[in-house]
Amino acid sequence: MRTIVIIGAGIGGLATGYLLSKHGENVTVIEHQKQPGGCLQSFYRNRLRFDTGLHYLGGLNTGGPLDYFFKELGLTDLPWMEIKEYEVHCGDKHYFIPCGESAWLEYMETMFPSKKAELHNFIKSLRDITYCPIADTTKYWEQNAWEWLEKTITEPELRDVISGMSFILELRKENLPLFAFAEILYSYFCSIHILPAGGQPITDHLVKGINANGGKIRCNATAVQIMESGRQVTGVMLDTGEIIEADVVISAINPTALMSMIKEDSCIRHVYRRRVKNLECTLGCFTANLQLSDDYIIKNQDPIYIHKPGSDFWDMSTDDVTQVLIHFYKGQNTADIITPMSWDSVKRWSDMPAGCRGEDYVIFKERKLNECLDLVETVLPDFGKAIVNHWSSTPLTWETYLLSPKGTAYGVRKDNNSLETTLLYPYTPLSGLYLTGQSMILHGIMGTTISAFQTASLVNNNIKAWPSKL
């Protein structure tokens, strides 16, 4: 039995810890916050629950892209609720799209009858890419997603509908890899699920499993230095000065944050450090958490994606509000409005502590909320009048409370033009130090979970990184 320390108790750290402890390793997961969960955490305002990051999960259907991994983690038995459809709106174009591969395809064929052949080829290609052997994925990482989509789907409106619910991917024409686009998009075409109680049940299950397997979760424990001797990791130092000895250390935090914990005179060369430190981060989000009046009737609680008419779904270079997601909570009259937001839009307040950023920051957030509401009310008229209370967060919030560099929501940005620098691997030049999390392969819950299996399998070869057949 080896002693393993995992830095970070989000789903990446907890899933990795669960797998390793289940296979007999002595695991300690350390977390700087007072509770585990990371983006899975919920929080309360006026006794109403809101979710930090987990809203929807794709690919959890039987045999779906996430099914094997969640079964291995014991997560498929949680009280998941399946979403039947999602909405995509752009100007006077409104689409009510059913979930499930067959239902999705049938609906699209009805709406775009002249594109049946393209649609069949499109969905088959997504399926083939998603389920291809892991050794064959390189060619799809090197392909550009937009160029492939433009060739595969020749109707611009159909491309928009396909792309309409995928701003979680940070669509970028110039460098989004096809594999990332296909894997995540296809998972949502297969199925969309939610947990009515938010992400907390996932956290509770994984923590309970780690404890039952003899592992430990230590909160309020901030790692500040990776200890090493003779090119071998030996443990982690906390901000209290305590050293936790370890045979293996796994970092489940952003790789750029990890580099600050490794001494300059370590065996990790400057070229590797520069590579990691120069990695670009994906965008963050502006989120408005809304308490709605009791007499406001929510007619449809399915996801609603609204795009500004004339906007380019694949251009996220502007800080204008051109797209929003509306998420309605089950069992309470509350909702979230989410829109992409860059770090540049808030960095002028980055040196100020939370709660002390001044009136300008408050005004900025109010203006952003009003811009979102202008777009929302093109589909839900007078929605703003139903808001009783609201609270909002920006990339600054994510950096402050989740230690997410520049408030990135999805980790490191992958680039199909320079995979050698943007696609990280679980192992590092320091023996015994490994990486896991959404910055490795794919982002989101699915990418983070797959990364946990890959990293855990390198540490313990009794763990399967990938099912032999999906």
pLDDT, average across residues 113-124: 97
Give pLDDT, residue 108. Answer: 97
Q: How confident is the model at residue 434 (pLDDT cuts 50, 70, 90)?
A: very high
Q: What rounded mean pLDDT belongs to the chain? A: 92
Go through 448-463 and write b for each residue having 16 or more CB atoms within 10 A of its CB, e for each that does not.
Answer: bbbbbbbbbbbbbeeb
pLDDT, average across residues 348-360: 93
469 found inside a domain: no
Q: How confident is the model at residue 402 (pLDDT cuts 50, 70, 90)?
A: confident
SS (H, E, C) 413-441: CCCCCCHHHHCCCCECCCECEEECCCCCC
Q: Residue 98 phi/psi, 5° resolution?
A: -75, 150
Residues 104 and 24 occupy one common structural domain? no
Q: Quick check: 21 pLDDT over 60? A: yes
Residues near 409 by beta carbon (within 8 Å), at least 6 away in sequence: 53, 282, 283, 284, 285, 395, 398
Residues near 148 by beta carbon (within 8 Å), at least 6 away in sequence: 178, 181
Nearest to 431 by CA among 226, 270, 238: 226
Distance (Å, whole) CA 183 – CA 60? 13
pTM of the model: 0.94
Residues 256 and 294 occupy one common structural domain? no
| DSSP string computed for 15-69 | HHHHHHHHTT-EEEEE-SSSSS-GGG-EEEETTEEEESS-S-EES-STTSTTHHH
pLDDT, average across residues 383-399: 96
Give pLDDT, residue 404. Answer: 87
Residues 72 and 203 occupy one common structural domain? yes
pLDDT, average across residues 325-352: 94
Q: How confident is the model at residue 337 (pLDDT cuts 50, 70, 90)?
A: very high
pLDDT, average across residues 281-300: 91
Radius of gyration of the chain (CA): 22
Distance (Å, whole) CA 251 – CA 31? 11
Q: pLDDT, tens digit, for every residue of 97-116? A: 999 999 999 999 999 999 99
Residues 182 and 42 occupy one common structural domain? no
Domain that holds residue 176: 99-189
| 236 bridge partner residues | 226, 244
Q: pLDDT, tens digit, for every residue of 246-286? A: 999 999 999 988 998 998 777 788 888 888 888 888 999 99
For the chain, how many structural domains are there in total?
A: 3
Residues 391 and 296 occupy one common structural domain? yes
Q: pLDDT, tens digit, for every residue of 22-40? A: 999 999 999 999 999 998 9
Distance (Å, whole) CA 144 – CA 248? 36
Structure tokens at 425: 């691997």
**Domain stops at, among 121, 154, 189:** 189
Q: pLDDT, tens digit, for every residue of 225-242? A: 999 998 899 999 999 999
| Ranges 107-111, 210-214, 254-258, 465-469: which has the least confidence | 465-469
Q: Quick check: 387 pLDDT over 90? A: yes
Structure tokens at 459: 């540490």
Residues near 103 by beta carbon (within 8 Å), at least 6 away in sequence: none
Q: Helix 101-111 to helix 116-130 angle, to the nearest 10 degrees? A: 150
Residues 216 and 240 occupy one common structural domain? yes
**By the 8 A CB rule, do 386 and 373 touch?**
no
Give pLDDT, residue 340. Answer: 93
183 found inside a domain: yes
Q: Nearest 5 degrees, angle CA 82-CA 83-CA 87?
A: 170
Residues 251 and 332 occupy one common structural domain? no
* CA distance to 215, 239, 250, 430, 465, per residue, from 426 (Å): 22, 25, 9, 11, 12
42 found inside a domain: yes
Give pLDDT, residue 6. Answer: 98
Give pLDDT, residue 441. Answer: 80
415 found inside a domain: no
**By the 8 A CB rule, do 316 and 170 touch?**
yes
110 — alpha (psi -120 to 50), left (phi > 0) or beta? alpha
Residues 293 and 398 occupy one common structural domain? yes
Q: Quick check: 466 pLDDT over 90? A: no
470 found inside a domain: no
Q: Enter the DSSP assignment of 135.
A: G
Give pLDDT, residue 168. Answer: 63
pLDDT, average across residues 5-16: 97
Q: Quick check: 468 pLDDT over 70? A: no
Amino acid at 314: W
Q: Quick check: 423 pLDDT over 90? A: no
Structure tokens at 233: 């990791």
84 found inside a domain: no
Residues 103 and 167 occupy one common structural domain? yes
Give pLDDT, residue 17. Answer: 98
Residues 274 and 286 occupy one common structural domain? no
pLDDT, average across residues 375-390: 95
377 found inside a domain: yes
Q: Quick check: 469 pLDDT over 60? A: no
Distance (Å, whole) CA 161 – CA 97? 9
Q: pLDDT, tens digit, for every residue of 123-152? A: 999 999 998 877 778 889 999 999 999 999
Residues 202 and 72 occupy one common structural domain? yes
Q: How confident is the model at residue 192 (pLDDT cuts 50, 70, 90)?
A: very high
**By the 8 A CB rule, do 466 and 282 touch?**
no
Give pLDDT, residue 47. Answer: 93
Distance (Å, whole) CA 200 – CA 36? 9
Count CA within 13 A, CB hemisphere, residue 35.
Answer: 9
| Ranges 11-15, 42-46, 103-107: which has the least confidence | 42-46
Residues 264 and 288 occupy one common structural domain? no
Residues near 430 by beta carbon (within 8 Å), at least 6 away in sequence: 226, 228, 231, 232, 233, 262, 266, 267, 268
pLDDT above 70 coverage of the chain, percent? 99
pLDDT, average across residues 292-307: 89
Give pLDDT, residue 167. Answer: 67
Give pLDDT, residue 454. Answer: 94
CATH number at residue 207: 3.50.50.60
109 found inside a domain: yes
Give pLDDT, residue 299. Answer: 77
**Domain stops at, among 189, 216, 242:** 189
pLDDT, average across residues 377-388: 95
